[in-house]
A and B are shown apart, each in its own frame.
Chain A
Amino acid sequence: MLTVTNLVKAYAGRTVLAVPSLVLSTGFHYFRGGNGSGKTTFFRTVAGLLPFSGAILLDDQFDINRDPVPYRLRVNYAEAEPLYPNFLTARDLAEFVGQAKQASSDQIHQLADLLGVQKFWTQTTGTYSSGMLKKLSLLLALLGRPRLVLLDEPLTTLDVATAASLFAYLRQLNATEGVSFLLTSHQDIALTGLPMTSTWQVGDGVIVPAD
Chain B
Amino acid sequence: MLTFLYKLIVGPFYARNAGTFLVIILLAFGFLSAREHKALITAALGSPFLLMLVFVLWGLYTLKTIAYVRQELAAPEHLFLQTFWLVPTTKRWVLWVAAQLALLAPIIAYGGWMIQIAATYRKWDSLGAIASWLFVLVGVGVTAVDYRLRHPNPEGLRLPGVTLRLPYVVFFPIHWLRYEPLSLVLTKVFSGLLLAGVCRLYPTDDYDARLLLIGLLLAILGHSQVGRQLSEFEHRYLLLLPNLPLSWRQRFGRYVVIYGLIWLPELLILLRNCPTNVSIYYVVWLWLTGWGWLLLMHSLAYGRSIIADRWLSGIFVAFIGGLLLIMFGLPIGAWFSIGWLTAAAYWFVGQRSLRVTEK
Q: Is the CB of A87 within 8 A of B175?
A: yes
Say how far A124's CB is from chain B's closest CB, in angstroms. Answer: 6
> Which residue of the partner chain B has the closest CB to A150?
B243
Q: List residues of B (238-287) whose CB comes within 8 Å of A's CBs.
A: 238-240, 242-247
Q: Is A77 an interface residue (CB 8 A)?
A: yes
Q: Is the CB of B165 within 8 A of A92?
A: yes
Q: Is the CB of B247 within 8 A of A69?
A: yes
Task: Choose from A10, A96, A126 the contact partner of B168 (Cβ within 8 Å).
Answer: A96
Q: Is the CB of A49 within 8 A of B242?
A: yes
Interface of B is mostly: loop
Q: Is B237 an interface residue (CB 8 A)?
A: yes
* Stretch of B99-107, B292-300, B350-358 with 4 or more beta carbons under 8 angstroms from chain A: B350-358
Q: Is the CB of A53 within 8 A of B358?
A: yes
Q: Is the CB of B356 within 8 A of A52?
A: yes
Residue of B76, B159, B178, B245 with highest tally of chain A CB at under 10 A: B245
Q: Is the CB of A72 within 8 A of B358?
A: no
> Which residue of the partner chain B has the closest CB to A126?
B156
Task: Choose from A51, A87, A96, A102 the contact partner of B357 (Cβ within 8 Å).
Answer: A51
User: Are A51 and B162 CB-contacts (below 8 A) given A69-B247, A77-B240, A84-B238?
Assistant: no
Q: Is A75 an interface residue (CB 8 A)?
A: yes
Q: Is the CB of A77 within 8 A of B357?
A: no
Q: Is the CB of B166 within 8 A of A72?
A: no
User: Are A9 and B358 CB-contacts (below 8 A) given A85-B237, A88-B171, A96-B168?
Assistant: yes
Q: Is the CB of A49 within 8 A of B239?
A: yes
Q: CA separation between A124 and B178, bound complex, in Å?
A: 14
Q: Is the CB of B245 within 8 A of A101?
A: yes
Task: Choose from B76, B167, B178, B358 the contact partner of A10 (Cβ within 8 Å).
Answer: B358
Contact with B along A69-90 (1 / 0, CB 8 A): 1111101110100111111110
Q: CA separation between A144 and B166, bound complex, in Å?
A: 21
Chain B residues with Cβ below 8 Å from A85 are 171, 174-175, 233, 237-238
Say how far A86's CB is from chain B's closest CB, in angstroms. Answer: 7
> Which residue of the partner chain A has the closest CB to B155?
A126
Say how far B348's CB is from chain A's closest CB, in angstroms. Answer: 12
Say how far B102's CB is from chain A's closest CB, in angstroms. Answer: 29
Q: Is the CB of A87 within 8 A of B156?
A: yes
Say how far A104's CB is from chain B's closest CB, in angstroms. Answer: 16
Q: CA separation between A84 and B236, bound complex, in Å?
A: 8
Besides A51-B356, A51-B358, A68-B247, 8 new A-B residue pairs in contact (Cβ under 8 A), listed by A number: A8-B358, A47-B243, A48-B242, A65-B355, A65-B356, A70-B245, A97-B244, A101-B244
Could you write out 6 A-B pairs with CB less than 8 Å apart? A64-B355, A69-B245, A84-B237, A85-B238, A87-B178, A96-B167
Interface residues of A (CB under 8 A from B): 8-10, 47-49, 51-53, 64-65, 68-73, 75-77, 79, 82-89, 91-92, 95-97, 100-102, 122, 124, 126, 140
